Amino acid sequence: MTSSTSIYKNIRALVYQQTHPLCLLVDQTRRVQLCIGDLAFYGYHQFSDSDDCTDQLTFLVGLDFTESIELMFVETPNAKAAHVYIMPRGGSTQIILLDASEQKVAQLNMQQKANELYLLHEEQTKTLQEMRILEAELERKNLEAEKANRLKSHFIANMSHEFRTPLNTIIGFTDLMQQKITNDSVHNDYLTAVDRGAKHLLNLVENLLDQAQIETSSIEIYATETDLNELFNEIDVAFVSLAERKLIEFEVVSSPLPNLVSIDELRLRQIVVNLVGNAIKFTDNGSVQLSTSWSSGELFVEVTDSGCGIPKACKELIFKSFEQLQNRPGSGLGLSIVKYLVEKMGGCITLESTPGSGSCFKVVLPAELTRTSQSARPLQKLDISNLSIPAKLLVVEDNPDILQLLRIVLESVDCTVLVSADGIDGVEKCLAEQPDLVLMDLNLPAMSGYEATKKLRAAGFSKPIFALSASTSADHKQRALDAGCDDYVIKPFDTTHLLVLIQQVINQSKFQGIPTRRRKELNQRFEASLNDKLKHLDQTLIALRCERYSDDQMRKLRHFIHNLAGSASLYGYDKISASAKQIDDLLYDNLYSDAAIDSGFMDLLGSKTGDLRALLMTETAIVGHQ
């Protein structure tokens, strides 16, 4: 009993210590009848018998004492906080105050943290909104930048065409006039100056357009099957006359080269032309030599000259954009573009030079053999004397000056020249006249050269088609080849190059019927279709097993088999052709006889079709592993 009393006292003391209870008993007039507790703890004074409690407990003013009331965190005169409980008891009212100061501090702290969290949330929300606005603005600016780049690329492409086409006319007709005026040295000098100025302008334009493409990162590398011997032959012919005018020697020295490698032909040509052109331009006496070789998947090109040479301090400088050595003429872009293209193609370029003794630029580029490449053979010099091409050619070109130039040049080598100024008329005239070769401008009114070429190929025209374009883009070239063109001639074209190329292709076509490039493309298309033909046969076998074939379906099957037999024979798939021919004969005998289709016929047809399917599977697997 004593122990329980002690515990009770301890609890009471602890509660009193923690809560500091103050108990008041007031009558109906709110006079204090009894006060238990420490008034001073809350900052109150002693009550006399006649005192109204609301004089000190001002928070009671206006309250209805007929109901129980709880007031939380009431502030007392000495700035403490108390929970107040008002409880009616008969004719009296009990008022109890419990200390809540620590709870008030804790609540204030919690409120502060809540406020801080709220403010932080608001700040985060504001930041996120600002980030979304900035992100939207960035996206808008990116779209504007992309649009600007597209417009710039479009402008570059248009400018390329706008510059190259008139320059083609100037250079082409200048060349024709130089051939006519052979005994008039004064006029010949004038023409030489015009030709030199036009070619210089062409080089400047090309470099500026390429630099613009580099800045917009729009130059792409497209490795295609490239004939190295043909490319270096053309470069040889192109620079011989330029070197002769400067009274220096130009020579191409080459070890045996593979005829077909995988490399970007347009960019390789651009690299070599830039290096050789620079060497001739800065060599006043002596010689310029272009050396080429190939080994283990790499092409080696060296351009050596006996010019003024380059000081050691300037060897790095000359590869930077717009830098010019010792105020030499030019845009200061040629070598920087060469370096960019070489590295973009995965190669490297080095320079060895001694002032007063000339320079040697060495380029190494990856150039893997293609599957159709022949063994290496030495470079053959082109013989362009007494050229005669007694063939019928169609020129589809909307520029009257280029059209006139091509007509004069082609007729001078015994060609019969047909002309057309737009794609639609060009297709009609080609199919009606069946020329030996077509020169097709790609940028044509009414119908583009791409579409015109596709229509000609779809109509069965198999003779050579050369694309004529002012664009140096490898993408445009690939698009032209995909459309069915056999070669891609860039404006301004060298008339001598063009004539030699035409003669080679015309002679090749006479012996083979279809140019090598065109024949290879057709073979590849047939090989690519083998898998689709196999799927068609699989569907046929399923239908045969289910005996669902009607007469109309049998006729469609025979049409498919008949075409397969013919095309397989054309492309050298003799076993497939023979198997398809057996099925074709079987279907023909049944379709055009009075015999009904019975189970024996269906079994035989299914067996023969299964044999054909096995052959197609074998060839499809072989093509897939090549």
Residue-wise pLDDT for 319-352, tens only, equals 775 555 555 554 456 688 888 889 988 999 998 8
> For the residues 443-467, what does the mean pLDDT come to?
90
The answer, yes or no, to whether residue 498 has pLDDT greater than 50, is yes
Looking at every residue in the chain, the average pLDDT score rounds to 80
pLDDT 10s digits, 124-134: 999 999 999 99
pLDDT 10s digits, 404-423: 888 888 988 889 999 999 99
The answer, yes or no, to whether residue 591 has pLDDT greater than 70, is no
- 208 or 539, which is more confident? 539
The percent of residues in the chain predicted with pLDDT above 90, rounded, is 20
For residue 492, cis peptide bond before it (omega within 30 degrees of 0): yes
How far is residue 318's CA from residue 466's CA, in Å, rounded to a whole number?
A: 37
- 96 or 153, which is more confident? 96
> For the residues 377-398, what does the mean pLDDT come to?
74
> For the residues 199-203, what does the mean pLDDT come to?
68
> For the residues 44-67, what does the mean pLDDT come to?
86
The answer, yes or no, to whether residue 583 has pLDDT greater than 50, is yes
pLDDT 10s digits, 166-180: 777 787 777 777 777
Q: Which residue has the tokens 């010689």?
A: 287
Cα distances from 33 to residues 25, 29, 273, in angstroms, run 5, 11, 118
Domains of the chain and any CATH numbers: 2-99 (3.30.450.20), 220-369 (3.30.565.10), 392-514 (3.40.50.2300), 529-625 (1.20.120.160)
> What is the DSSP annotation of 16-71?
HHHH--EEEEE-TT-BEEEEES-GGGGTPPPPPTT-BGGGT-GGGTT--TTS-EEE
DSSP state letter for 493: P
User: What is the pLDDT, as a whole number, of residue 94?
Assistant: 93
Indicate the pTM of the whole model: 0.46
pLDDT 10s digits, 592-610: 555 556 667 777 877 888 8
- 18 or 304, which is more confident? 304
The percent of residues in the chain predicted with pLDDT above 70, rounded, is 79
Q: Determine the angle formed by the axes of helices 551-570 and 530-545, rounding to 10 degrees.
A: 150
User: What is the pLDDT, as a whole number, of residue 278?
Assistant: 85
User: 489: closest CA among 475, 472, 464?
Assistant: 472
pLDDT 10s digits, 502-542: 887 887 654 444 444 545 555 666 677 777 777 877 777 67
User: What is the pLDDT, as a whole number, of residue 366?
Assistant: 92
How far is residue 448's CA from residue 426's CA, in Å, rounded to a whole number?
A: 10
What sign for the dihedral angle of Cα 608, 609, 613, 616? positive
Give the tokens for residue 519.
């024949």
User: What is the pLDDT, as a whole number, of residue 15?
Assistant: 77
Within 13 Å and on the Cβ side, how many CA atoms surround 506?
20
Give the tokens for residue 255.
């070890």
